[in-house]
């Protein structure tokens, strides 16, 4: 048997160290999280995208009593960007979670969101930089492939 190790590299900064643009992206994600519809879990998630054309697009989680019908914040933002700007690549995505109106520690996208993000990265033809935002720290990954190294793709179809 051969053991193979997959490592994930990322940067970690304090919120105060963010560039003005990254801080704005995080703040837009926080605002989106505040607008989330989460009456069941009370777990509010916001996502903010920076597109290569300079536009920002946001999304928030939208819950439903029939839980499979819920939409994650990342998917809401990515879908909106795909509808509004179908030929524009996504440069960055910031993701924030809140409980009781307070930003939580870092959150990481669920498996479904990772797969949707990977498809958008492929669609845009360039890596999407990911900011996993917490109350005091932000982890920055250079590509969705960092979150999903053994991904499912069109080669498997």
Q: What is the pLDDT of residues 125-143, one digit of tens each?
A: 999 999 999 999 999 999 9
Phi and psi at 14, nearest 5°, equal -80, 155
Work out the widest C-alpha separation in the chain, in whole angstroms: 50
- Domains of the chain: total: 1
Residue-wise pLDDT for 67-120, tens only, equals 889 999 999 999 999 999 999 999 999 999 999 999 999 899 999 999 999 999
Point out the catalytic residue in the list 63, 74, 136, 155: 74
Q: Is residue 155 part of a domain?
A: no
Residue 154 lies in a domain: no
User: 75 lies in which domain range?
Assistant: 11-149
**Taking all residues of the chain, what is their mean pLDDT, rounded to a whole number?**
95
Look at residue 153 in the predicted model and tell me its pLDDT. 77
Is there a domain that residue 6 lies in? no
- 34, part of any domain: yes
pLDDT at residue number 7: 87
In a domain, 5, yes or no: no
- Residue at 59 is within a domain: yes
- The arithmetic mean of pLDDT across residues 34-53, rounded, is 97
Reply yes or no on whether 155 is catalytic: no
Sign of the Cα torsion 22, 117, 91, 88 reads negative
Q: Treating both helix axes as pointing N-terminal to C-terminal, what angle do 73-84 and 111-124 enclose, rounded to 10 degrees?
A: 20
Is residue 138 within 8 A of residue 15, CB to CB? The reply is yes
60: domain CATH number?
3.40.140.10
How far is it, in rounded angstroms, from Cα 124 to Cα 107?
24
DSSP β-ladder status, 102-103 and 129-133: unpaired
Q: Is 3 within a domain?
A: no
Give the C-alpha separation, 157 to 147, whole Å: 21
C-alpha closest to that of 97 among 138, 154, 145, 147: 138
Residue 6's pLDDT is: 86
User: In angstroms, rounded to a whole number, what is the distance separating the alpha carbons of residues 59 and 70?
Assistant: 13
């Amino acid at each position: 048997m051969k053991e193979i190790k997959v490592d994930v590299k990322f940067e970690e900064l304090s919120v105060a160290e963010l560039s003005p643009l990254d801080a704005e992206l995080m703040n837009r994600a926080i605002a989106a999280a505040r607008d989330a519809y989460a009456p069941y879990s009370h777990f509010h998630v916001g996502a903010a995208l920076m597109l290569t054309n300079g536009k920002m697009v946001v999304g928030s989680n939208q819950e439903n009593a029939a839980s499979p019908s819920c939409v994650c914040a990342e998917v809401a933002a990515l879908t909106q960007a795909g509808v509004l700007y179908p030929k524009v690549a996504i440069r960055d995505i910031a993701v924030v979670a809140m409980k009781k109106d307070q930003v939580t520690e870092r959150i990481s996208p669920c498996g479904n969101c990772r797969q949707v993000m990977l498809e958008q990265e492929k669609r845009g033809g360039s890596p999407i930089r990911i900011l996993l935002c917490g109350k005091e720290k932000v982890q920055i990954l250079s590509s969705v492939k960092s979150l999903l190294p053994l991904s499912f793709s069109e080669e498997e179809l």
